[in-house]
Chain A
Amino acid sequence: MHGTVSEFGNRAQGNGTSRAAILEMSGLRLEACSVDVWTPIVHGINLTVHKGEVLGLIGESGAGKSTIGLAALGYARDGCRISGGSILFDGTDLNGCTDKKLRNLRGKRIAYVAQSAAAAFNPAHRIIDQCIEVPVHMAGRRRSQAIKDIKRIFGLLQLPDPESIGDRYPHQLSGGQLQRAMVAMAMAGHPDLIVFDEPTTALDVTTQIEVMASIRHAVEHAGTAAIYVSHDLAVVAQMAHRVMVLRHGAVVEEGEVGAILHDPRREYTKALVSARQTSHAHRPVDTDDEVIISVEDVRASYGKSPVLNGINFEIPRQRTVAVVGESGSGKSTVARVITGLLPPDRGVVRYGKGILPSFYGKRTKDELRQIQMVYQMPDTALNPKHSVRDVIGRPLEFYLGLDKVQREKRIRELLSLIELDPDEFIDRTATELSGGQKQRICIARALAAEPSVIICDEVTSALDQLVGEEIIRLLNDLQSRLGLSYLFISHDLATVRAVADYVLVMRSGDIVDFGSTDAIFNPPYHEYTELLLSSVPEMRQDWLYKLLQDRDNKKATDLRKRIAAT
């Protein structure tokens, strides 16, 4: 990341609005098809991107931001169509343009960076062959020339070993490397406009920073215009000159990044800007709390590879213990061990004073009932053919043996508890619910068993920010009403701060830091915790720039210290 800081500095002040427009959408309308009926999803958007300018598109899922991003390439996914308006790219209207003309523009003049590089790279071909496809096969440049060029771009994006990294297959690269390779692929054709579709959403915070920094560096270096689509305003604030806030397929507000952050006009934008600032009042930490679950010296592995290297912690009654860490840290494995899905190699899990059988099949119905789970993806955690009544009724029958009348009564109580109207929702199937409603049903299903502990595995990460916050509020509320204990697994530090009493920081199967939430989130920090905390994007325009500068300075100081020592 050295040597890039000064360029960021220049950019933070600059903007390109005085330059000519490269893309102009006017009155753009898109429709989506469900069961043979076309419903409008984007209602007449006007959007302009100038040469060398980065425009941020922000909104929740269903706001139409990705659809608009794709429309900038004259493309609509299966089941979608561009139904009106014009998309002028450098004078050519992409709406109603022939396929041949579109193919001629795509890749060479307008490029796309997908959300999941792991899925968007073809598993059957080497990275370099995919990266030079546009220059060699579409633009007809010489292969040797294109290879030389792409290696230079690999270097520009700070990929390790730019000379040979392209010879690998997609599965041989890490998530962050793949995402940068995809940016390199987009830049290979030297396009005038790149559409970035949530390019860092699937990454860990520390990796996200590296990718954000290299994207910014590369885009700045090439002078390319870009549309940067994201659901995270803090991320967009680092990347874009101008921001457009979208909701339900219409523009809520548009303006310079600074203006949107500091002086939002509309309620919705204000909610987005303040979203991360909620916090819950932590009850004082008390060491005499009764312990519900204790995990003692647990080692676990998948096959031969160790995942947990002997961890110890306790979950007290009516408390929330959060487990944070990046992907691969073993945080979900903790949940699998406690629920008995993965029997540990060594160590025990206790419920109260008694040792729980390590394999769930050996546990009694009552032991199973005490520990319930809520999963990350409410879409896949609910059977789409079952009604809400079936979903919640099943644990009532299985664990508590309630008859039909009692069940019906209890299902209605539970629905009221999770703030859904029983009359309206009891007969719906999962497909008739929104993401947040589905997650509420999953919580009700866990509550139905009347457990003392609920394990929440990334319960808000598949949800939009504002919806996620509602779920967190509900969980906090249920805890104080029902005296539940939570094990809250998350990679999102802001959310953890809002729910947890205690925090465990995990890294490669070890607990590296543990303490009350106040202790963890206030100095003095553990080194790794500090890295995680400082990597969470903040709602300041110069955040990334300052952070990288700080880290560079720190490196320089360390180096100087070392030189002085010798």
Chain B
Amino acid sequence: MIQIVRLVAQRIALGLFTLLIVTLLIFLAVELLPGDFVDAILRQGRTQESVEVLRRQIGLDQPAYVRYFSWLTNAAQGDLGYSFSNERPVSDLIGNRLYNTFFLAGYAAAMAVPVALTFGILAALYRNSVFDRVVNITALSAISSPEFLAAYILIFVFSIQLGWLPSLAHIAIDTSLWESLKLLFLPAVTLTLVTVAHMMRMTRAAIINLMTSPYIEMALLKGVGPKRLILRHALPNALSPIVNVVAMNLAYLVVGVVVVEVVFVYPGLGQLLVDSVSKRDMPVVQAGCLVFAVTYIGLNLVADILSIITNPRLLNPS
């Protein structure tokens, strides 16, 4: 048990360290953007004086490292600062968007993960059969076409031709859950299409990889049937790689949805981020990136910890 606690603590410490490095990278990347907020907002009729004043007002006259450390210490305390453009607290701006993004990601994950695991396991069970090939080809075609293409095809078929579903995912705070699910169905399906292949192929590969191991042969020679062979003998030993690839894809569902948000005009974090970059609204960009980084690192941390605690060798030391 102590061993597990130590391993988990190690992973968490490592995660926090990675996060620290990421904050530095975010800050540097934002610094490297040509021009700043003042340049972006005062295009014409600007004077040297007005630029100076505005810069001082929002603290851009400070050297970069001072700004980095004040941002870091504030962010660590939960204060993400104020937006340059509309002077609202960044947390207010992000809050609602973040909820929307996570809602869509969760919706897509609820479809993608079960589908991927089921088809991955079935494909491993009936490997090299017609079923296996059809599943593989479908999944690979889905992942090979760009998301916007898949999105527009879905819109064309289901919104325009059939008229079953709305083409815009325009939700407000007072939209009911049922209505949200309906509005977000097409974006969620689009995201499912692009993530399912990866998870499914990994599940299939992880299980097939184990099928040549001596304990699977032993199970076969004990007369274990195909279903029990996969679910009881192979799957528990394949969990670690599967959990890892699922975590990667969940993270992608949160951080990689910009294109889908733009296509469906969905008020998520990705769109906010794109807008803020073009306005050079640094506090918002930094906060958005930070949220993405935390999600990514957090999910991978969870995957790591899960693979540690599902390992019987660590759980029951000799």
User: What is the interface of chain A, defined by CB distance below 8 A to chain B?
Assistant: 70, 73, 75, 77-78, 102-108, 111-112, 114, 116, 119-125, 133-134, 137-138, 168-169, 171-172, 185, 189
Q: Which of B236-267 contact A (CB under 8 A)?
A: 236-237
Cβ contacts A to B, 17 pairs, < 8 Å: A78-B212, A103-B225, A104-B223, A106-B222, A106-B223, A107-B221, A111-B221, A112-B218, A114-B217, A120-B214, A120-B217, A122-B237, A123-B215, A123-B237, A125-B232, A172-B318, A185-B222
B161 at the interface (CB under 8 A from A): no
* Inter-chain contacts of B224 with A (CB < 8 A): 103, 107, 133, 137-138
* Inter-chain contacts of A103 with B (CB < 8 A): 223-225
B233 at the interface (CB under 8 A from A): yes
B44 at the interface (CB under 8 A from A): no
CB-CB nearest 5 A-B residue pairs: A106-B223, A124-B236, A107-B223, A107-B222, A119-B214
Contact B313 A169 (CB under 8 A): yes
Chain A residue with the shortest CB-CB distance to B318: A172
Q: Which of B205-223 contact A (CB under 8 A)?
A: 212-215, 217-223
Pick from B213, B219, B237, B318: contact of A119, CB under 8 Å: B213
Q: For the complex formed, measure the closest distance between the CB of B112 and the CB atoms of chain A, giving whole angstroms.
A: 26
B45 at the interface (CB under 8 A from A): no
* Inter-chain contacts of A168 with B (CB < 8 A): 316
Pick from A77, A105, A185: contact of B223, CB under 8 Å: A105
Once bound together, how far apart are the Cα atoms of A103 and B226, in whole Å?
Answer: 10
Given contacts A75-B220, A171-B318, A123 and B225 within 8 Å (CB-CB): no
Once bound together, how far apart are the Cα atoms of A125 and B235, in whole Å?
Answer: 12
Once bound together, how far apart are the Cα atoms of A521 and B232, in whole Å?
Answer: 51
B88 at the interface (CB under 8 A from A): no
B170 at the interface (CB under 8 A from A): no
Chain A residue with the shortest CB-CB distance to B214: A119
* Inter-chain contacts of A123 with B (CB < 8 A): 215, 237, 312-313
* Inter-chain contacts of A116 with B (CB < 8 A): 214
User: What is the interface of chain B, defined by CB distance below 8 A to chain A?
Assistant: 212-215, 217-225, 228, 232-233, 236-237, 312-313, 316, 318
Given contacts A171-B318, A172-B318, A120 and B312 within 8 Å (CB-CB): no
Contact A134 B222 (CB under 8 A): yes
* Inter-chain contacts of A124 with B (CB < 8 A): 236-237, 312
New contact pairs (18) apart from A125-B232, A138-B222, CB-CB < 8 Å? A70-B221, A73-B221, A103-B224, A103-B225, A105-B223, A106-B220, A107-B222, A112-B222, A114-B214, A114-B218, A119-B214, A122-B218, A122-B233, A122-B237, A125-B236, A138-B224, A168-B316, A171-B316
Once bound together, how far apart are the Cα atoms of A203 and B15, in whole Å?
Answer: 43
Chain A residue with the shortest CB-CB distance to B215: A122
Once bound together, how far apart are the Cα atoms of A77 and B214, in whole Å?
Answer: 11
Once bound together, how far apart are the Cα atoms of A119 and B212, in whole Å?
Answer: 11
Q: For the complex formed, measure the closest distance between the CB of B309 and the CB atoms of chain A, giving whole angstroms.
A: 13
Q: For the complex formed, measure the closest distance between the CB of A511 and the CB atoms of chain B, giving whole angstroms.
A: 28
Once bound together, how far apart are the Cα atoms of A138 and B218, in whole Å?
Answer: 14
Most chain A Cβ neighbours within 10 Å, of B214, B228, B236, B318: B214
Contact B223 A138 (CB under 8 A): yes
Chain B residue with the shortest CB-CB distance to A195: B221
* Inter-chain contacts of A169 with B (CB < 8 A): 312-313, 316
Once bound together, how far apart are the Cα atoms of A138 and B223, in whole Å?
Answer: 7
Q: For the complex formed, measure the closest distance between the CB of B318 and the CB atoms of chain A, giving whole angstroms.
A: 4
Pick from A108, A138, A171: contact of B312, CB under 8 Å: A171
Contact B218 A121 (CB under 8 A): yes
Once bound together, how far apart are the Cα atoms of A107 and B225, in whole Å?
Answer: 12
Contact B223 A121 (CB under 8 A): no
Given contacts A119-B214, A123-B215, A125-B236, A171 and B223 within 8 Å (CB-CB): no
* Inter-chain contacts of A112 with B (CB < 8 A): 218, 221-222
* Inter-chain contacts of A172 with B (CB < 8 A): 316, 318
Once bound together, how far apart are the Cα atoms of A407 and B228, in whole Å?
Answer: 58
* Inter-chain contacts of A133 with B (CB < 8 A): 219, 222, 224
Q: For the complex formed, measure the closest distance between the CB of B257 and the CB atoms of chain A, giving whole angstroms.
A: 35
* Inter-chain contacts of B214 with A (CB < 8 A): 114, 116, 119-120
Contact B219 A122 (CB under 8 A): yes
* Inter-chain contacts of A122 with B (CB < 8 A): 215, 218-219, 233, 236-237
Most chain B Cβ neighbours within 10 Å, of A107, A111, A185: A107
Q: For the complex formed, measure the closest distance between the CB of A169 and the CB atoms of chain B, giving whole angstroms.
A: 5
Most chain A Cβ neighbours within 10 Å, of B222, B225, B236: B222
Q: For the complex formed, measure the closest distance between the CB of B161 and the CB atoms of chain A, giving whole angstroms.
A: 46
Chain B residue with the shortest CB-CB distance to A78: B212
Most chain A Cβ neighbours within 10 Å, of B218, B224, B228, B316: B218
Once bound together, how far apart are the Cα atoms of A284 and B229, in whole Å?
Answer: 61
* Inter-chain contacts of B225 with A (CB < 8 A): 103
Q: For the complex formed, measure the closest distance between the CB of B4 and the CB atoms of chain A, giving whole angstroms.
A: 15
* Inter-chain contacts of A114 with B (CB < 8 A): 214, 217-218
Once bound together, how far apart are the Cα atoms of A77 and B218, in whole Å?
Answer: 11
Once bound together, how far apart are the Cα atoms of A478 and B104, in whole Å?
Answer: 74
Once bound together, how far apart are the Cα atoms of A471 and B233, in whole Å?
Answer: 42
Once bound together, how far apart are the Cα atoms of A116 and B223, in whole Å?
Answer: 19
* Inter-chain contacts of A171 with B (CB < 8 A): 312-313, 316, 318
* Inter-chain contacts of B236 with A (CB < 8 A): 122, 124-125
Q: For the complex formed, measure the closest distance between the CB of A141 and the CB atoms of chain B, giving whole angstroms.
A: 14
* Inter-chain contacts of B221 with A (CB < 8 A): 70, 73, 75, 106-107, 111-112
Once bound together, how far apart are the Cα atoms of A138 and B217, in whole Å?
Answer: 16
Once bound together, how far apart are the Cα atoms of A75 and B223, in whole Å?
Answer: 11
Once bound together, how far apart are the Cα atoms of A105 and B162, in whole Å?
Answer: 55
Once bound together, how far apart are the Cα atoms of A181 and B228, in whole Å?
Answer: 22
Once bound together, how far apart are the Cα atoms of A120 and B216, in whole Å?
Answer: 8
Once bound together, how far apart are the Cα atoms of A119 and B231, in whole Å?
Answer: 19
* Inter-chain contacts of A189 with B (CB < 8 A): 222
* Inter-chain contacts of B217 with A (CB < 8 A): 77, 114, 120
Chain B residue with the shortest CB-CB distance to A104: B223
Once bound together, how far apart are the Cα atoms of A112 and B223, in whole Å?
Answer: 11
Once bound together, how far apart are the Cα atoms of A78 and B219, in whole Å?
Answer: 15
Chain A residue with the shortest CB-CB distance to B225: A103
Once bound together, how far apart are the Cα atoms of A122 and B229, in whole Å?
Answer: 11
Once bound together, how far apart are the Cα atoms of A123 and B232, in whole Å?
Answer: 12
Q: For the complex formed, measure the closest distance between the CB of A153 and the CB atoms of chain B, giving whole angstroms.
A: 15
Once bound together, how far apart are the Cα atoms of A559 and B317, in whole Å?
Answer: 37
Chain B residue with the shortest CB-CB distance to A123: B312
Contact B228 A137 (CB under 8 A): yes
* Inter-chain contacts of A185 with B (CB < 8 A): 222
* Inter-chain contacts of A106 with B (CB < 8 A): 220-223
* Inter-chain contacts of B212 with A (CB < 8 A): 78
Once bound together, how far apart are the Cα atoms of A106 and B213, in whole Å?
Answer: 18
* Inter-chain contacts of A70 with B (CB < 8 A): 221
Once bound together, how far apart are the Cα atoms of A125 and B215, in whole Å?
Answer: 11
Most chain B Cβ neighbours within 10 Å, of A106, A120, A122, A189: A122
Q: For the complex formed, measure the closest distance between the CB of A140 and the CB atoms of chain B, giving whole angstroms.
A: 12
Q: For the complex formed, measure the closest distance between the CB of B242 and the CB atoms of chain A, giving whole angstroms.
A: 14
